[in-house]
Structure 1
Amino acid sequence: MKLFSRLYRLVMMWAVHRHAPVYLSMNSFVESIFWPVPVDVMLAPMALAKPDRAWHYAALATVFSVLGAAFGYLLGYAMWEPLVEPFIQAMGYQDKIAVARQWFDDWGIWVIFIASFTPIPYKVFTVTAGLLQMAFLPFILVSLIGRGLRFFLVSGLMVWGGVRMESRLIRYIDLLGWACVAAAVVAYLLLRP
């Protein structure tokens, strides 16, 4: 079944759309607050489709992601009880917030760097940082460094790999896609309560 190769072609069409930078910026902003779609899903194909604009796209993603993080921080800081907590409960994310609190206790500000650079859900930590009233300026600086490293790395890999990497990716995209789905199902079955 060639589902992932069709999706890849569709994403590559979106990546060259004239409004793609606006969509990337919007996705970067909301992904730092609540949106589940990672920025890399848009950034990588955009950088691959237009390598001369890759660094511009990485900068856009970084700036708007950190702006979203600041907004998420402010929501956690000022709107926890009336707005955020009911949303967390409705989504069943109480355990994620509890884990985030524990990680803050264990690692302090480094948890922001880890969450901003890795696939760990950054949004949980932006809101929790506000809830715990973490110092705002260090929060922003560490977020800027972590998000910048991640997005410039993604763009750099796309520029470096270029057409060679794309041809290999297209050849194996369906196999990789189904392998990821299988891994997610196995992880869910092993980790569910």
Structure 2
Amino acid sequence: MSYLRRLFEWIIEKAHSRYGVAILFIAAFFESVFSVFPFMLLFIPLIIANLDRAMFYGKVAAIGGILGATVGYFIGYFAWVDASGDYTAIARFFFDHLPGFSVAAYQSIQGLFDKWGALLVFAAGFVPIPFELVTISSGVFDVNFFFFILSVIVGRGGRYLLIAFLIWRFGAGVKVFIEKYFNWIALGVVASIVIGAVMFSMVL
């Protein structure tokens, strides 16, 4: 697990560079569209490295996540099926390359949207399920855009701000704990995402 430690140290180093904010924003943006890296493994170390900027980082992550979710919504709304009703090349790319984003999951989630609507988006902002599946499907199934954005702001944005606040509030102790047990925490984050995706698929 030494590579996880090296990753942690690299993130801490970049947090003090001029690229820290840009990296955070881009990662938060893509987590809502096409997640290829557990965002929390970047977000938390960045805050720990600069506790005095915790809430600023929380706002950057929130804005990036909200904008990414908006793009995900419009991908679903405008670019998911063609005029004949078939999946576009973009949709097939997501199905083939995004873990947890299968044709079956996409088809099944419609029932949840019919029942819960934008509340599903709000819930997805807090629990470890493929958020991009929810944002894109929101566009496909024509969830009211105003309520979609409101749910993303409160759910996803609120999550990032809450995490930033808690780390800032308990900063010193959290920093020592995470630095000591980072490998296990990283594995826990990845495991929670996998378990969440599996359980979400079972619900579907």
TM-score using structure 1 length? 0.85
Q: Which runs of 4+ in 1 moved over 6 A?
A: 179-190
Q: Which residue of 2 aligns with 1:85?
A: 91
Query: Does residue 164 in structure 1 map to residue 170 in structure 2?
Result: no
Residues 74 and 130, structure 1, Cα contact 8 Å, conserved in 2? yes
Residue correspondences, number: 193
Query: Does residue 26 in structure 1 map to residue 26 in structure 2?
Result: yes
Structure 1, unaligned runs of 5 or more: none
Cα displacement (A) at 1:151: 0.2
Cα displacement (A) at 1:55: 0.9
Q: Aligned pair in 2 of structure 1 residues 33, 162: CA closer, same or farther (>3 Å)?
A: same
Q: Which residue of 1 aligns with 2:84?
A: none
Structure 2, unaligned runs of 5 or more: 82-87
Cα displacement (A) at 1:157: 2.0
Q: Aligned pair in 2 of structure 1 residues 83, 72: CA closer, same or farther (>3 Å)?
A: farther
1:1-193 matches, within 5 Å, as 2-81=2-81, 82-91=88-97, 93-177=102-186
Residues 76 and 84, structure 1, Cα contact 8 Å, conserved in 2? no
Q: Aligned pair in 2 of structure 1 residues 178, 46: CA closer, same or farther (>3 Å)?
A: closer
Deviates more, 1:74-83 or 1:169-178: 169-178
Q: d(CA) in 2 for partners of 1:25 and 1:139?
A: 21
Which one has a larger percent helix, Structure 1 or Structure 2? 1
Q: d(CA) in 1 for partners of 2:12 and 2:73?
A: 33
Which residue identity is paired with 1:98? Q
- Residues 49-90 of structure 1, C-alpha deviations (whole Å, 9 max, x = no match): 111211111111111211111111111001112343222332
SS of residue paired to 1:117: coil
Cα displacement (A) at 1:42: 2.0
Residues 40 and 154, structure 1, Cα contact 8 Å, conserved in 2? no
Residues 3 and 174, structure 1, Cα contact 8 Å, conserved in 2? no
SS of residue paired to 2:128: coil
